[in-house]
Amino acid sequence: MRAFALLFLAAIAGNAEDDAAGRSERARAIRDWAGEGAAAIPKIEPYLEDGDAEVRWEAVRAISQIGTPASIEPLIKASRDTQPAIQIRATDGLVNFYLPGHLKTGWATTFRKAGTAIKGRFTDTNTDVVPPHVTPREDVVDALGKLARGASSMEARANAARALGILRGRPALPDLYEALKSRNSLVLYESLIAIQKIREIQAGPRFQFLLRDLDEKVRIAAIETTGILQNRAAMADLGEALERARSMKVKRAALTALAMMPDEQNREIFGRYFSDQDDGLRGAAAEGYARLRAPGDLPALERAFQVEKKTGPRLSAAFAIVMLGKHEWTEGSALAFLLETLNSKSYRDSAQPLLIELARQAPVRHAIYSVVRDTRATKEQKIRLAQVLGESGDADSLPVLESLGNDADPAVAQEGVRAAGNLRARLP
């Protein structure tokens, strides 16, 4: 009996070795074929149905890296795999087709095989989005929506939600709303950011209940998205968060959201925090005054700009001054300060969105044209201002962007061409 048991165990071990050898051989073949490009996809695609998850992983990784239009349908097929890691890799591959380079930064880069333990490793850096003129295929958005609604792990659902935001997947909004019913903070956070990027104004009531979520990260994302989508029905909830929250991050987010919805009934709130000790609250209050657009607020804002020592709230005061009609582009002016801050590594990401909003005013755009034509303009200024014009420019901005497209610096030229494409997609 003992001899039989030993023979049985030996047979199992032999089969395991054969399986491992076969898996290794198939995976090696897939890696070799990947170098052939799109022509290799018909040879690799059948391995998406292999019985071994590691082989399927190699197949989806190879097809993602090939990244041609022929990759899309196999990646959609891979998105239906039962392994979370394969679903995540397929998701990142689909995004990479529309946003080249995503495979280097996407979440699938954090694990190397299908069986890797998956844990939430997402970062707060979630600003990627395809240009306005890029429209993903309907079947891609549909596949990602199904994953966001019900992938085989919460991480795969969250990654799909993130992908929908990057691709501005508006048709999948019902799937994102379904994802908001999840109790998982990662899924909730990524779904909120996706809705924020899609800019669906009517979405506000769908997540208003999350303004009181116990997870601070989710709560702040809900507050920020409420402000961006200008859900005025939530103003009382924002006021409550501002007054009662113990977290300073929540308070700042709430006041910033209120500042995005100009309403005279909030004037008293802005006045209360305009001289607050906290930099973020002072800045948010100044931006609130900016959007009220009351000329009588200008003297106080100019005083604040002159005496403020911290760059963040000083940028906000400068924004308010320009918003109220002070468009001078002279040394020491508010507009010059905003434009010069684009050269600051620490604050350029704060100055740029303010300039995007201000560039909807023709005098501000004309000042920007002068800057990018100035021989003293830096590479960073040109790149950032091209992006500003791509977002908020008008027909008269096209010649300026076309000129930047011929800049001697390749990075500036590339951004000029990209921004001109974005602007043309927006213009009627």
In a domain, residue 232? The reply is no
Residue 346 has pLDDT above 60, yes or no: yes
Residue 318 lies in a domain: no
Q: What is the pLDDT of residue 14?
A: 43
pLDDT at 5 over 50: no
Query: What confidence tens digit (pLDDT) does each residue in 383-422 have?
Result: 999 999 999 999 999 999 999 999 999 999 999 999 999 9
Residue 71 forms part of a structural domain: yes
CA angle 53, 57, 62 (to 5 degrees): 150
- What DSSP character marks residue 346? T
Which among 192, 169, 56 has a CA at the least distance from the CA of 122? 192
pLDDT, residue 110, reads 64
84 domain residue, yes or no: yes
For 125-172, the three-class secondary structure string (H helix, E strand, C coil) is CCCCCCCCCCCCCHHHHHHHHHHHHHCCCHHHHHHHHHHHHHCCCHHH
7 falls in which pLDDT band (50, 70, 90)? very low
Average pLDDT for residues 206-231, to the nearest whole number? 96
Single pTM value for the model? 0.89
Residue 29 falls inside a structural domain? yes
Can you read off the two tokens belonging to residue 229? Answer: 């989508």
91: domain range?
15-110+134-176
pLDDT range class, residue 34, cuts 50, 70, 90: confident
For residue 115, count other CB atoms closer than 10 A to its CB.
12
Given this model, what pLDDT does residue 27 score?
Answer: 87
If one counts the domains in the chain, the total is 1
> Residue 114: what pLDDT?
56
Q: How many CA atoms does the CB half-sphere of 28 hold within 13 Å? A: 6
pLDDT of residue 8: 39
pLDDT confidence of 336, banded at 50, 70, 90? very high
When pLDDT is averaged across residues 270-285 and rounded to a whole number, the result is 97
Q: Which amino acid does the sequence have at 12?
A: I
Q: What is the mean pLDDT of residues 356-378?
A: 95
CATH at residue 157: 1.25.10.10
**Which tens digit of pLDDT belongs to each residue from 115-159?**
554 554 445 567 899 988 899 999 999 999 999 999 999 999 999
Burial of 256 (0-12, 13-18, 19+ CB in 10 A): buried
Helices (runs of H) and strands (runs of E) counted in the chain: 23, 0
In a domain, 183, yes or no: no
pLDDT at residue 106, rounded to an integer: 80
Confidence of residue 17 (pLDDT cuts 50, 70, 90): very low
87 lies in some domain: yes
- Measured CA to CA, the distance from residue 31 to residue 205 in angstroms comes to 48
pLDDT value at position 9?
38
CB 284 within 8 A of CB 254: no
| Position 4 pLDDT exceeds 70 | no
Residue 324 CA to its chain's centroid (Å):
30
Residue-averaged pLDDT of the chain:
91
Residue 62 located in a structural domain:
yes
For the segment 70-98, the average pLDDT, to the nearest whole number, is 96
